[in-house]
Chain A
Amino acid sequence: MKNIIRIQSNEVAVVKADNWIISEEDHDALGSCEILPMKAWLARIKQGDDVNPALWIDVDDDAMELQDVIEKLSFICVFFEDFKDGRGYSTAYLLRKRLNYQGELRAFGDVLRDQLSLMRQCGFDSFAIKEGKDPYDATKGIKGLSVTYSGSVSQPNPLYRRVRR
């Protein structure tokens, strides 16, 4: 994958490209860096195959199907077909809060600078910025506003539980 921004212990790093490859569908002789679609990955697991601890979630996939296998995963990518489709935010919430997923969570597809702080608050810690956009420029979108009223994945307490107003 290309145009990567990763956040690790509050440090932001830009990686021009890593070895991971998104596979559109399952096939024979999977490489060690291939990321299968969630449904294909689940089918492999069901067969008892030994697969990469990585998958990608499509816009209409239900992340809750990973409930029983979440501990086998250390890298999950969530596809944004269109940045205006907000399902990926709830997907991230469910993975982090309901399934307690601790691994890397990457947004890819139509991923743009102006949504990064929102994605980060929902639990993403890794972004593959849309091709053609400058990932260094996109890092400016990570910080966001200093005040948030509601709670979120990254800050579970709403403002009224965080500060004395």
Chain B
Amino acid sequence: MYRYDEYDRALVNERVEEFRDQVARRMNGELTEDEFLPLRLQNGLYLQKHAYMMRVAIPYGALSSDQVRGLAVIANKFDRGYGHFTTRQNIQFNWIELADTPDILAHLASIDMHAIQTSGNCVRNVTTEAYAGVAPDEEYDPRIFAEIIRQWATVNPEFLFLPRKFKIAVSSSQEDRAAVRMHDIGLYLYRDKEETLRFQVMVGGGLGRTPFLNKAVKDDLHWSEVLSYIEAVLRVFNRYGRRDNKYKARIKILVNSLGIGDFREEVEAEWQLIRGSFSTLTEDELSRVASQFLSPLYSTLDDANLEYGHHVTSNSEFAAWVSRSVKPHKVKGYASVAISTKFPTNTPGDLTAEQMQCIADLADAYGFRVIRITHEQNLVLPDIPKEYLFNVWESLCEVGLALPNVGLVSDMIVCPGASYCNLATAHSFPVAKKVAAAYSIEEQLEVGDISINLSGCINACAHHHIGNIGILGLNKSGEDYYQITVGGAQGKDSQIGKVIGPAVSEELLPVVVKNITNAYLANRNDKETFHETFLRIGLEPFKLAAYESAGA
């Protein structure tokens, strides 16, 4: 777990005081709203429908129990008792007063957290997967490079007013659980034949109005040159990215207008001029950061635990939860626990202060005081000895967080939508709730693993393009309508979903989604996943089935 040293702490503390002064100048009229806007955005502060919203970075999704408690304090003291975990490993507080924001940031600084560059046209929070450091299929802990890149990008003076926002994700496992392909820069870290760490660098991903998966620009970048290479990409983007149209300003548009070949040449030419100099990473720096991510001191445990086995066989509710929530761990006798924040008992991504407290307490009691945030808006206790899984489940039951639905239909990824967001064109939460409610848990288990993502507008915060079933909220003459895509997928074989036909009303949406999953059930061979069936049979059968008895 990365702990701030005196430099990190000085930076965030000074930044809080700088923003305190800027807020004061805004409130006394010295700063116009136009002048203040990028300053507040780069400190995580949005103005939403009803109030200011503060987005706090959770770098690479890792939190200590003390940090989770600190977030609970903010939820209680400055918000309405809850926070919303997002698809990019941030937490958002929705009901914030401008005058309180410096104190909130000061509180965050006191627990080694910040909201720097969680918005604005700059490099955003660097993300990775929730199981970093504990996944059995991992080659190298991606958090180490995520932290190195985070530091490099934080208040990097040349790249704070880019044409548009810029998102970086790192993954270093067989399976990509960090949605790398939809990032402006996606980094796959691997070991070559000589065991040297190298990156495959992917550039130009992004969803929104024009979705693109990123493309490989460099396959064998030596680890020590990752910062200079990112610098080269950013300088090319800063100089040549479009600034005349917000929707054409992301690097994906530049990559695709130049073509990947020409883009690669531009970056390569820039990189050759800056590489090998000051920004080459040193072994010392790598080991300094890596030493902060050492594994906890695991006990020597048996792989099987009798008591745990007994609970699984004798308690069917516990067994149901285990089958969805308990994930493999690289160390014998341990497991990772995924905690669903979803329907029917919760709102996707939302946790109350009380629930945060409970999770922090569980991490203290059983799990080395660490918690992770997933890009599916769920939480993870990464290091739980199997013998304590039953205790964890019992405690989660008490706060309504023991839902046995991780990875199922009702584990939908949903943005806050028109209930909060200025940008949203349609409601998200209440509509998603109806879709989830259309399925019994038995029906969900029959469908099995599936990703359903619902965004309340074209900006695609819920990543609807890469959901197996993607749902996009639109507004047609005052009414909410939902456009459906099928065939999206995340991971190394990511795909952008295809639109099946006309958008449907809120009322019909659950029927249509169910028709689509029924078409999957009717067509699947043996143990095929939804995506495998889609790849085999194509869009047509889903298209045909979708609107049956929906009258659309």
Contact = CB atoms under 8 A, between A and B. Distances in A.
Given A147-B7, A147-B14, A151-B279, A86 B158 contact: yes
Contacts of B162: 86
A139 to B, nearest CB: 14
Interface residues of B, number: 40
B35 A158 contact: no
Given A84-B38, A145-B18, A90 B158 contact: yes
A114 interface: yes
Nearest to B153: A150
Interface of A: 62, 83-87, 89-90, 93, 98, 112, 114, 117-119, 121-122, 145-152, 156-161, 163, 165
Contact of B152 (A83, A93, A145, A150): A150
Interface stretch (B183-191, B281-289, B318-326, B470-478): B281-289
Given A85-B243, A145-B11, A118 B238 contact: no
B248 to A, nearest CB: 15
A149 B157 contact: no
Contacts of A160: 281-282, 284-285, 288
B284 A89 contact: no
B14 A146 contact: yes
A121 B158 CA distance: 8
Nearest to A161: B278
Contacts of B10: 145-147
Interface string B372-392: 000000000000000000000
Contact of B158 (A83, A89, A117, A158): A89
Task: Pick the most buried of B161, B235, B284: most chain A CB atoms within 10 A of its CB.
Answer: B161
B14 to A, nearest CB: 5
A114 B22 contact: yes
B14 A86 contact: no
Interface string B143-157: 000000001111111
Contacts of A118: 155, 157, 160
7 contacts: A90-B235, A114-B31, A118-B157, A145-B15, A147-B7, A147-B14, A150-B151
Contacts of A147: 7-8, 10-11, 14
A145 B12 CA distance: 9
A90 to B, nearest CB: 5
B7 A165 contact: yes
B481 to A, nearest CB: 34
Contacts of B159: 86, 89
A114 B38 CA distance: 10
A160 B7 CA distance: 11
A163 B38 contact: no
Contact of B5 (A85, A158, A165): A165
B239 interface: yes
Contacts of B284: 160
A98 B272 CA distance: 12
B340 interface: no
Contacts of A148: 155, 157
Task: Pick the most buried of A85, A98, A112, A149: most chain B CB atoms within 10 A of its CB.
Answer: A149
Contacts of A85: 161, 243
Contact of A89 (B31, B157, B277): B157
B121 interface: yes
B39 interface: yes
B239 A90 contact: yes
B522 interface: no
B272 to A, nearest CB: 12
A163 B284 CA distance: 12
Contacts of B151: 149-150, 159
Nearest to B236: A90
A149 B238 contact: no
Given A85-B161, A149-B11, A150-B151, 20 more contacts: A62-B239, A86-B121, A86-B160, A87-B243, A89-B157, A89-B158, A89-B160, A93-B235, A98-B273, A145-B14, A147-B8, A148-B155, A149-B154, A152-B158, A156-B277, A158-B227, A159-B7, A159-B151, A163-B7, A165-B5
A54 to B, nearest CB: 23
Contacts of B39: 114
Contacts of B18: 145
Interface string B278-313: 110110110010000000000000000000000000
A119 to B, nearest CB: 8
Contacts of B158: 86, 89-90, 93, 122, 152
A117 B243 CA distance: 24
A131 to B, nearest CB: 14
Nearest to B239: A90
B281 to A, nearest CB: 8
Contacts of A149: 11, 151-152, 154-156
B4 to A, nearest CB: 11
Contact of B238 (A62, A83, A87, A121): A87
A157 B38 contact: no
A127 to B, nearest CB: 14
Interface in B249-284: 273, 277-279, 281-282, 284
A145 B38 CA distance: 17
A164 B258 CA distance: 42
For the complex of A and B, the 8 pairs showing the least CB-CB separation, nearest first, are A86-B161, A118-B157, A121-B157, A160-B285, A147-B11, A149-B151, A150-B156, A89-B158
B109 to A, nearest CB: 13
B157 to A, nearest CB: 4
A87 B282 CA distance: 30
A86 B156 CA distance: 12
Interface string B31-65: 10001001100000000000000000000000000
A158 B161 contact: no
A85 to B, nearest CB: 6
A94 to B, nearest CB: 9
B239 A87 contact: yes
A148 B155 CA distance: 7
